[in-house]
Amino acid sequence: MADEKSTGPGAARFLTTYDEDEHAQAVVFHLVLEFHPGVTYTRRELMLELGGGGGPGYIGFDAGQRALRELVGAGLLHPIGEDEMVRPTRAAVRCFELTDRDF
C-alpha cells in the first residue's frame, strides 16, 4: 500500500483514496455545523468554500460532492432539495455538540 512507505519521523505520508474521502467528509461535516444555525450554505456556496482556489488545505469540488453524497447517505445531512440548501440533521447537530467540546 502507498501509505506503508512512511518510515521514521518527518517522512511523507501518502493517503489512500479512502483516507482522502474520510477527510473530505470530516471537513464538510465540520464546515456545515461550525456556525449552525446562524449560517446555512447552499450547495454552490459550500463547493466554493471547499474549493478555495485550489490552495493547500482545501478539498476541491469533486471531493466535496462525494462527501455531501456520503453524509446524506449516512443520515448526517438532509437530502438537498430544490432550494439547494445544505442542512444537518438533528442527530448530526447533537453529535457535533457532544464531540466538539473541551473537557
- Of 4 and 32, the structure prediction assigns the larger pLDDT to 32
**Nearest Cα to 32, choosing from 2, 1, 70?**
70
Res. 28: pLDDT tops 90: yes
CATH number at residue 65: 1.10.10.10
Residue 9 within a domain: no
The predicted pLDDT at position 12 comes to: 62
Domain that holds residue 27: 15-99
Residue 8 within a domain: no
Residue 39 within a domain: yes
Residue pLDDT, tens place only, 30-40: 999 998 999 99
| Total domains present in the chain | 1
Residue 10 within a domain: no
Instruction: Give the list of residues 6+ apart from residue 19 with CB closer than 8 angstroms, or none.
Output: 3
> Residue 2 is placed in which grid cell?
502507498
pLDDT, mean over the chain: 85
Assign 1 a pLDDT band (cuts: 50, 70, 90).
very low
Residue 2 within a domain: no
pTM attached to this predicted model: 0.78
Instruction: Give the list of residues 6+ apart from residue 53 with CB closer than 8 angstroms, or none.
Output: none
Residue 6 within a domain: no
